[in-house]
Amino acid sequence: MYRRFRVPSIWREMDQLQREMNRLMKSSLEPRYIGPRSFPAINVWTSDDRQIITAELPGFDAEDIGINVSADLLVLSGERRSDQIDGEMQLHRQERTFGKFSRSIQLPFMVDTNKVQANFKDGVLEVYLTRAEADNPKKIEIKVV
Amino acid sequence: MSENEGKAIQVPEQEVITKDEMERTRERQCYVPKTDIYETEQDIMVIADIPGASKESIEITLEKDILSINAFANPVFHEGFKLAYSEYEPGDYQRSFRIATEIDHDKIEATVINGELRLRLPKAEAAKARKIQVKAG
């Protein structure tokens, strides 16, 4: 009697353990942050008819960053120039990267190019995009006959 | 450095501080900032990329020969928007270096422009004077 009671309880515990393990594995396999596809890494914020695209561009000058929007394509480009040092110097460590980049981002809507705004603060670029009026979904009224 | 001009930028790998000697109180991602260090005759230059950290949040200390850089980036939220796609996570920056040369503590200069921290550590007069000229006799 005692044994028959004990054995199923162990199996129940095993089942629960398995469920718990599955849950843990599943959550760890779904990363919150996707690695960058190409330079620069971007974050996309959305609302109904607007979108904000942010990118970390440390050491870039605002004048050296290009933002081009046409229809539903945003192209970010730029160049980071390396330091110009006069005279003799000894390099101990170089981890920062320099050079050119260009990245195209497909947007979910046609953009009103007159309303594109961008700011660049502390090395972080923010591009504000607004959906074009013509691209807005048209609401169809149902006529009651 | 000029051979880098015009080359396409590769995606840098962000090194995250996961374990430290000290527990962190802020529940934020903490990165090791990408840093360049070079030395000229007068100065040691330390340049670190700390995008997202404001000028006010940066703490730099030089204790004995340990230079520590701490920079905090505030979490970014856009009112009325939701984060739909994310490739990077803003975080804090922390890094320490051991400076082998004697530094003139009073003349250290730090500037931050466009998320790039530039530290100029002038070598102490004593360290400069210690160089002994060998004369050919």
The reply to whether omega before B33 is within 30° of 0 (cis) is no
C-alpha dist (Å) from residue A101 to A122, B68, B130: 19, 31, 45
Mean pLDDT, range A51-72, rounded to an integer: 93
The answer to whether residue B2 is domain-embedded is no
Q: Which residue of A has its CA nearest to B43?
A: A89
The answer to whether residue B13 is domain-embedded is no
Cβ atoms of residues A43 and A53 within 8 Å? yes
The pLDDT of residue A2 is 53
Q: Which amino acid is at B61?
A: T
Mean pLDDT, range A96-121, rounded to an integer: 92
Cβ atoms of residues B71 and B57 within 8 Å? yes
CATH code of the domain in which B96 resides: 2.60.40.790
Domain count of the fold of chain B:
1
Distance, in Å, from the CA atom of A144 to the CA atom of A62, rounded to the nearest integer, reads 56
The answer to whether residue B8 is domain-embedded is no
With a cut of 80, say whether residue A87 has pLDDT above it. Answer: no
What is the percent of chain A where pLDDT is above 90? Answer: 43
The answer to whether residue B65 is domain-embedded is yes
Q: Per the CB < 8 Å rule, is B114 touching A57?
A: yes
With a cut of 70, say whether residue A30 has pLDDT above it. Answer: no
State which residues form the domain around B51.
Answer: 24-129
User: Which of A92, A120, A125, A130 to mutate to test binding with chain B, by most B CBs within 10 Å of its CB?
Assistant: A92
Q: Would you write out chain B's pLDDT as a tens digit for each of its 137 residues?
A: 445 455 677 776 777 776 555 666 667 788 899 999 999 888 899 999 999 998 899 999 988 889 999 999 888 889 899 888 888 888 899 999 998 888 888 899 999 999 999 999 998 887 666 666 778 76
* ipTM reported for the complex, 2 dp: 0.78
The answer to whether residue B10 is domain-embedded is no
Mean pLDDT, range A26-40, rounded to an integer: 67
User: Which of B36, B114, B117 to mutate to test binding with chain A, by most A CBs within 10 Å of its CB?
Assistant: B114
Any residues with CB less than 8 A from the CB of B72 and at least 6 apart, and which?
Answer: B26, B53, B57, B58, B92, B93
Distance, in Å, from the CA atom of B122 to the CA atom of B125, rounded to the nearest integer, reads 9
Q: Of A32, A61, A83, which is closest to B1 when you measure between CB atoms?
A: A83
The answer to whether residue B98 is domain-embedded is yes
Look at B24 and A94; give whichever has higher pLDDT: A94
Cβ atoms of residues A19 and A13 within 8 Å? no
For residue B49, list chain A residues with Cβ-Cβ distance below 8 A. 58-59, 96, 123
